[in-house]
A and B are shown apart, each in its own frame.
Chain A
Amino acid sequence: MTDYGFKLSKPGYDIKTCAVKDQVINSERNSLKIWMAGSNNISVSEFTGFAGTGEGYFEVNHSLGYAPFFITFFKLKHSTKIWLQDSLDQSMLATNFIHGESYTDTTKLHAHIYVNGNNLAAWTGKVYYYILIDKAMI
């Protein structure tokens, strides 16, 4: 087959000889493309001890038809920091364990905020999400 395609190198690298890691784009290699990005508030219920729920939930349709690669971030109780999914809000560790976690299925991204610790009144968190066009298996 004739050698054809499209590739661009980073500054300072010779596109004819440089490795794929030093290329900005190469038509022989797929790249991560962002399908959806956004954010949404999440209402978190009051946590009243082990009998309480202390949970909030948000879902968004992605319509890809497969469970895609995603990354989520959460605004939890800390006033300014945004936490990577599964991280604990360190500002609250003395009294409460608060974190956000997510998963995808063929139609939606599901995001949860969980509270576990001492009593905590109802509050509002926020999820920021990136859904990528990558189904891992073709």
Chain B
Amino acid sequence: MTDYGIKISQAENDVKTCNKENLVFSSKYDSLKPFIVGYGEKTVAAATAPYGPSGEELVQIKHDLGYLPFFYVFCTSIWRSDDKFSPYAYKSIGAISPDGGSYAVDTNYLYIHLFNGDPTGSRQIFFRYHIYYNELS
């Protein structure tokens, strides 16, 4: 097949000879194409005991792409201030019930499970989500 397409190199790099790491764009490689981005917050009930089940809330984001899309989610933790986001998963911290988030997709929804490991009261957890057109296949 004839070699064809579009390539753009970073400054000071010869597009005809530079390696792929120094290309800003190449039509040879796909890229992540954002579909939906958003954010929100949810008040999550207290854990039932220090070692007990964490409080849980489920947020469902409808995407209706009809296939499994690439996605990423960040949420706040009850152990940090509300401006600090991470893909913090459902983990245990010493004797304290787990907190953080677990995330999944199917062909129609993004599911954001949020957890509060604090047994002393409900907590507000913030989240940000990114859904891309790229398919998991």
* Residues of A that sit less than 8 Å from B by CB: 5-6, 25-35, 37-39, 71, 73, 78, 80-84, 86-90, 99, 128, 130, 133-135, 138
Contacts and interface: CB of A to CB of B under 8 A. Distances in A.
Given A99-B89, A128-B137, A130-B70, A30 B10 contact: yes
B68 A37 contact: no
Interface of B: 8-11, 20-21, 23-26, 29-32, 68, 70-73, 87, 89-90, 101-107, 111, 113, 134, 136-137
Given A39-B137, A133-B29, A6 B104 contact: no
Given A84-B73, A88-B89, A133-B21, A31 B104 contact: no
A30 B29 CA distance: 13
Nearest to B20: A133
A82 B106 contact: yes
13 contacts: A27-B8, A27-B11, A28-B11, A31-B31, A32-B32, A33-B20, A37-B134, A71-B70, A81-B104, A83-B104, A84-B104, A87-B90, A87-B104
